[in-house]
């Protein structure tokens, strides 16, 4: 059996149509059709059922697709190992971070990274809560957490402080507000129960238990956007609040509510030269943020 057949089976299964498979493979759809007919005729089997909706795998096709996926992963691992033998950071590297952290903290660092190491093929994975991403999906994962799993390798960067922020327009409309003694008179933008990675839950329970005017969000970016628009007050990481000109900091960093920032490395790829070099670059640049925004990150 020609090993190239599996490449076509995989592209057809993923694409679902001849045209999309052609896009994946970088060939015309007529080439894909000719190749499909050729391999089915030569082997005397049918990999796909063809109908108006597209292509559907037969049981034989499903077996071939599983093998194609296994070989694709094996080839990717082989490429990682071969490229990793070189000391230069060349090849693909996957970095995961939550959306808000990428937007306000990591993006300028990654811009410098690709400028300094043009041989890198950078893949950025984001989620509202990076805990939703499997550590096997990324080579490096930037994640706020105070108790990382013992099995995870990585480096602690700093502690992220949080404080109360409000837009200038909200503060002008509520000049007599007293968030320390009368927080119930304010509108508060708070996270919902999906925010497992935030360390500010105790502060909310202690200080906002009598507040009735609430806006609940399922992402830090939503909280930030609403606070910036003047919808209410929010507890935000200082690296996010201090970088936003529309926001004013209305409290000291909340005592006992900081969370550690970790850069974790995948055990599968930590031995690769490019991963080690990029990790060292990110650790150095992230720790330098502490000197630029003193209250955002503390060692």
Report the CATH number that the domain containing residue 185 is assigned in CATH.
3.40.190.10
Please state, for a pLDDT cut of 70, what percent of the chain lies above it: 86
Predicted confidence at residue 87, as pLDDT, reads 56
The better pLDDT of the pair 157, 75 is held by 157
Please state, for a pLDDT cut of 90, what percent of the chain lies above it: 30
Give the predicted TM-score (pTM) of the model: 0.65
**Domain boundary, last residue among 84, 114, 139:** 84
Residue 294 has pLDDT above 50, yes or no: no
Predicted confidence at residue 55, as pLDDT, reads 85
Q: How far apart are CA 278 and CA 266, in angstroms?
A: 13
Predicted confidence at residue 20, as pLDDT, reads 87
Q: Are residues 78 and 121 in the same domain?
A: no
Nearest to 156, CA basis, from 165, 144, 174? 144
Q: Are residues 267 and 219 in the same domain?
A: no
The better pLDDT of the pair 105, 87 is held by 105
Predicted confidence at residue 40, as pLDDT, reads 87
The per-residue pLDDT of the chain, averaged, comes to 84
Predicted confidence at residue 15, as pLDDT, reads 85
pLDDT tens digit sequence for 6-43: 888 888 888 888 888 888 888 888 888 888 888 888 88
For the chain, the farthest-separated pair of C-alpha atoms sits apart, in whole angstroms, at 82
Does residue 254 lie within any of the structural domains?
no
Does residue 133 lie within any of the structural domains?
yes
Average pLDDT over residues 197-219: 81
**Domain boundary, last residue among 84, 104, 137:** 84
Does residue 200 lie within any of the structural domains?
yes
Predicted confidence at residue 263, as pLDDT, reads 92
Q: How confident is the model at residue 226 (pLDDT cuts 50, 70, 90)?
A: very high
Residue 291 has pLDDT above 60, yes or no: no
Q: Are residues 95 and 206 in the same domain?
A: no
Q: Are residues 204 and 230 in the same domain?
A: yes
Q: Are residues 277 and 139 in the same domain?
A: yes
CB neighbour class for 75 (10 Å; exposed up to 12, middle 13-18, buried from 19):
exposed
Average pLDDT over residues 45-73: 85
Q: How confident is the model at residue 235 (pLDDT cuts 50, 70, 90)?
A: very high
**Domain boundary, last residue among 84, 109, 126:** 84
Does residue 144 lie within any of the structural domains?
yes
Domain of 80: which CATH number? 1.10.10.10
CA distances from 294 to 116, 269, 287, 289 (A): 26, 33, 11, 8
Does residue 71 lie within any of the structural domains?
yes
Chain mean position to CA 28: 34
Q: Are residues 79 and 209 in the same domain?
A: no
What DSSP letter does each residue of 61-116 carry, written as one string? HHHHHHHHHHHHHHHHHHHHHHHHTSSS--EEEEEEEEHHHIIIIIHHHHHHHHHH
Q: Are residues 153 and 166 in the same domain?
A: no
Q: Are residues 151 and 285 in the same domain?
A: yes
pLDDT tens digit sequence for 169-198: 999 999 999 998 899 999 999 988 776 556
Q: How far apart are CA 222 and CA 128, in angstroms?
A: 10
Tell me, what DSSP letter sits at residue 136?
G
Nearest to 70, CA basis, from 116, 9, 15, 128? 9
Range of the domain at 129: 91-160+259-298
Q: Are residues 241 and 120 in the same domain?
A: no
The better pLDDT of the pair 134, 207 is held by 207
Does residue 127 lie within any of the structural domains?
yes
Q: Which of 69-73, 79-83, 120-124, 189-193 has the highest mean pLDDT?
A: 120-124
The pair phi, psi for residue 159, each rounded to 5°, is -105, 130
Residue 82 has pLDDT above 70, yes or no: no
What is the domain count for the chain?
3
Tell me if residue 237 falls in helix, strand or coil: strand
């Amino acid at each position: 059996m020609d090993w190239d057949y599996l490449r076509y089976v995989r592209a057809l299964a993923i694409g679902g149509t001849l045209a999309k498979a052609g896009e994946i493979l970088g060939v015309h759809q007529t080439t894909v059709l000719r190749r499909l007919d050729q391999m089915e005729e030569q082997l005397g089997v049918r990999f796909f059922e063809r109908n108006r909706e597209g292509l559907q795998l037969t049981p034989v096709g499903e077996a071939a697709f599983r093998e194609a996926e296994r070989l694709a992963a094996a080839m990717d691992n082989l490429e990682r190992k071969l490229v990793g033998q070189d000391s230069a950071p060349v090849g693909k590297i996957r970095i995961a971070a939550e959306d808000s952290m990428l937007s306000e903290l990591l993006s300028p660092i990654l811009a410098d990274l690709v400028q300094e190491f043009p041989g890198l093929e950078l893949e950025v994975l984001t989620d509202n809560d990076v805990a939703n991403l499997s550590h096997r999906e990324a080579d490096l994962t930037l994640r706020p957490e105070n108790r990382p799993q013992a099995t995870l390798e990585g480096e602690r960067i700093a502690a992220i402080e949080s404080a109360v922020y409000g837009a200038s327009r909200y503060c002008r409309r509520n000049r007599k507000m007293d968030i320390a003694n009368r927080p119930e008179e304010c509108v508060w933008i708070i996270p919902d129960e999906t925010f497992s990675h935030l360390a500010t839950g105790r502060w909310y329970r202690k200080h906002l238990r009598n507040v009735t005017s609430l806006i609940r969000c399922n992402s830090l970016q939503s909280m930030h956007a609403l606070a910036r628009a003047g919808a209410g007050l929010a507890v935000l990481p200082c690296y996010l609040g201090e970088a936003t000109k529309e926001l004013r900091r209305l409290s000291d960093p909340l005592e006992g509510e900081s969370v550690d920032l970790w850069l974790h490395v995948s055990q599968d790829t930590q031995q690769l030269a490019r991963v080690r070099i990029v990790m060292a670059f990110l650790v150095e640049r992230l720790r330098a943020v502490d000197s630029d925004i003193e209250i955002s990150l503390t060692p």
